[in-house]
Structure 1
Amino acid sequence: MICPHCERNLLRKERVGDTCSHCHRSYALDPKTNALRLNDLRVRRITAVLTDGGRIGIVPDQLWYALSRKRLRDSEYGQGCAAWAFVAAAFAAGIAFFAQVPGLLIGSAALGLVGMGVFVAQGLGAGVGIPPVPRESFPAHVLTLWRAVYGALPPGVIDTEGSADDPSGPAGAAGTTAVLVCPDRAVIAFLVADGLPARHGLAVVLSAEEARAVPSKGPVLVLHDSDADGELFVRRLRDALPGRTVIDVGPPLRTVRTRPQAVPYRDPKRKPSPADMRLLTELGTYTPQELKWLGKGWRFPLVGLPPARLLAVVDRVAGQVTRGVDPDRRRAADLGFLTWPEQAGPDPVGGR
């Protein structure tokens, strides 16, 4: 491991107690002792990419996904168990052969079957896509350690702890021209912190009920994960808001699945219900392979999109929609006051 302070290459014996034996300064993360195999330099490097060199702020959930991507691609399901089962089986078989103990042969065969079962499960993809650190546990497992050493979050990461339930301010405030609905509080906090709702006069809400409470007849923009819940969220929102223009701004599932940099994850506890799968099937817009994929609980989360790209897409769509609703904004756009340049550069998701 490289010391984040003096940049010396440290052996395990040279970093006892999470302290460099050369510069005697503490660090936050040791790849040998945390589930994501992180070190401080990697966290800083990825944070710099996600924030576009400090141009935008990000929320902890976006950092969680970026730091988990490598582990989500690989499965380490039962690797230690399989290895020890095979070793124990060989050891027991050896003793049984030389000591003439028939009972050990049965035990050896049982251990061999256990190891083979784990090996087969690995081949079938068991453990692939399951985060080693759940999203909700990331602050305690990583950010708390970081705060203890550096006194603050990594540069550019927004502190969302203790934030208000409604980060966008009172719904239906003066100047509201449209409504943005997103069930992910972290994504709302990200958009609000980077000024997007205020820029376009958007009321930002979490649900259809909150959208109905906004005294605006303007269009409704919907942001959602690319998963079974997200795909059905748009349909249910349209049913709940008859007569309103509902625009799906979420990333299309079919498009995201074809991107080599996109890494899905799954939560075995959040598989869609049979009723939800029937609704998805009735839509007639998904292939059997896509339905099978959704049914296993796979998802592409909004927090997994490159933050700068997510901000640019929502910014562009919101600008187009609100300019058509608000005459003052339309005139300002014609004069060029509300045009926002695209940021060219490498794909932050792929550049790990």
Structure 2
Amino acid sequence: MICPNCERNLLRKERTGNICSHCKRRYALDPKTNSLRLNDLRVRRIATGLTDNGRIRITPGQLWYALSRKRLREAEFAPGCAGGALVGGVLVSFWAIFGKLPFMLYVAGALLATALGIVIARQMGAGQGIAPMTRGSFRSEALAEWLQVYGSLPAGVVDDGGQPWPRRPADAPAPHAVLVCPDPSIAAFLAADGLPDRHGIALVQGPEHVTALLPALPPRGPVLVLHDADARGELLLRQLRDTHPGRPIVDAGVSLRTVRSLPKAVPYREPERKPSAEEMHRLTALGEFTEEELKWLAQGWRFPLVGVPPVRLLAVLDRLAEQIGRGVDAERRHAAEVGFMTWPAAAGNGPDPAGGR
């Protein structure tokens, strides 16, 4: 690997303990000692691309996905084990036959059966799409090492821990719309790049936070839903539409059908997020998904918001927010002309003068 400090090419023996034997300086990540095969220069290069050379800021979740894409494509069940078991089984078979050790045939049979089992498991999809380093592990392992060496996150990366959803002051102007975003990485990304403030949008975590803001919204002020392309994301959108009939609920998330048709989109699986039988029953009952899509969702496949290129995601949301702002302003101008409401002051004072629309 290349030393990120002196840029010398280092053999494994020349970088013991993550210290360059030439410049004697420490670095954070060694591709031989982490499951994503990361090194400091690659992390910096990917972060620079994601931030558009520092024009925007990103979060650890977005950086994790970008660094994991290649390994997610390569992920397989028991890598290297099938070949090893097969070769071992063949060698032990020859040993048993020519050495006249019939009991070793049992060992050979077990090794060959193991190789066959691994091949069958791979054909059935075992291990595919499972990240060798989870988002949580990326934070606790790779980024922890980075912070220890450099004292801060990579350039352009802002923390997505804690409570990334901005708190709205009591005297804040009434928002034009509500943006629901359960993913803390994306919430922190949008807040860091100023989208909520720029467009007068309230950024919230989940459906339970929407109800409290509805009295402050214009009568047709929409609720935008940012969600992953997975079973829970699809159910979140339907839940909000069922809970708030008559209120525009805009799907601003990743489209399942669209993303599955994109050759460069790399989905992945998290075993702990595999949908329950009850969740799959609800999705099936909607009648909106094909049998293939339901099977894909039931296996726990998902395409996350953190997988959308940050520049593209921000641009799309900016355009959507501008359209919403123009629509709300048009409604306000019309309301002022006919004279039966004053926004935003009237939004929180008493019943809706438009008849509770």
The two structures have a TM-score, normalised by structure 1, of 0.88
User: Contact between 2:164 and 2:191, CA under 8 Å: does it hold in 1?
Assistant: no
CA distance in 2, matches of 1:329, 1:198: 19
User: Contact between 1:75 and 1:125, CA under 8 Å: does it hold in 2?
Assistant: no
CA distance in 1, matches of 2:171, 2:303: 31
Partner in structure 1 of residue 183 of structure 2: 184
Partner in structure 2 of residue 346 of structure 1: none
How far apart are 1:328 and its partner, in Å?
11
Is the partner of 1:247 in helix, strand or coil?
A: strand
User: Contact between 2:57 and 2:192, CA under 8 Å: does it hold in 1?
Assistant: yes
CA distance in 2, matches of 1:135, 1:305: 16
Partner in structure 2 of residue 336 of structure 1: none
Is the partner of 1:180 in helix, strand or coil?
A: strand
Partner in structure 2 of residue 237 of structure 1: 240
How far apart are 1:194 and its partner, in Å?
0.6
Partner in structure 2 of residue 200 of structure 1: 199
In 2 relative to 1, CA 22–247 (structure 1 residues): closer, same or farther, beyond 3 Å?
same
Q: Does 1:66 align with 2:89?
A: no
Moved over 4 A (4+): 327-330
Is the partner of 2:296 in helix, strand or coil?
A: helix
In 2 relative to 1, CA 171–178 (structure 1 residues): closer, same or farther, beyond 3 Å?
farther
CA distance in 1, matches of 2:231, 2:208: 20
Q: Which amino acid aligns with 1:207?
A: G
CA distance in 2, matches of 1:258, 1:60: 27
CA distance in 1, matches of 2:206, 2:138: 25
Q: Does 1:303 align with 2:306?
A: yes
CA distance in 2, matches of 1:329, 1:150: 51
How far apart are 1:207 and its partner, in Å?
1.5
% identity of equivalent residues = 59
> What is the correspondence of 1:267-346 to structure 2 with a 5 Å cutoff?
267-326=270-329
Partner in structure 1 of residue 348 of structure 2: none
Partner in structure 1 of residue 34 of structure 2: 34
Q: Does 1:264 align with 2:267?
A: yes
In 2 relative to 1, CA 250–164 (structure 1 residues): closer, same or farther, beyond 3 Å?
closer
CA distance in 1, matches of 2:107, 2:321: 66
Q: Does 1:175 align with 2:178?
A: no
In 2 relative to 1, CA 249–87 (structure 1 residues): closer, same or farther, beyond 3 Å?
same
CA distance in 2, matches of 1:104, 1:176: 75
**Greater Cα shift, 54-63 or 84-93:** 84-93
Q: Which amino acid aligns with 1:326?
A: D
In 2 relative to 1, CA 48–234 (structure 1 residues): closer, same or farther, beyond 3 Å?
same
Partner in structure 1 of residue 139 of structure 2: 139
How far apart are 1:98 and its partner, in Å?
2.9
In 2 relative to 1, CA 239–268 (structure 1 residues): closer, same or farther, beyond 3 Å?
same
User: Contact between 2:68 and 2:131, CA under 8 Å: does it hold in 1?
Assistant: yes
Partner in structure 1 of residue 101 of structure 2: 101
**Greater Cα shift, 81-90 or 71-80:** 81-90
**Greater Cα shift, 191-200 or 279-288:** 279-288
Is the partner of 1:231 in helix, strand or coil?
A: helix
In 2 relative to 1, CA 329–13 (structure 1 residues): closer, same or farther, beyond 3 Å?
farther
User: Contact between 2:165 and 2:191, CA under 8 Å: does it hold in 1?
Assistant: no
Is the partner of 2:263 in helix, strand or coil?
A: coil
CA distance in 2, matches of 1:322, 1:171: 22
Structure 1 segments unaligned to the other structure (5+ residues)? 331-352
Partner in structure 2 of residue 47 of structure 1: 47
Is the partner of 1:79 in helix, strand or coil?
A: coil
CA distance in 2, matches of 1:316, 1:127: 39
Is the partner of 1:179 in helix, strand or coil?
A: strand
CA distance in 2, matches of 1:12, 1:119: 33
Deviations 1:210-236 (A, max 9, x none): 100013232111110011111111110
User: Contact between 1:208 and 1:241, CA under 8 Å: does it hold in 2?
Assistant: no
How far apart are 1:92 and its partner, in Å?
2.6
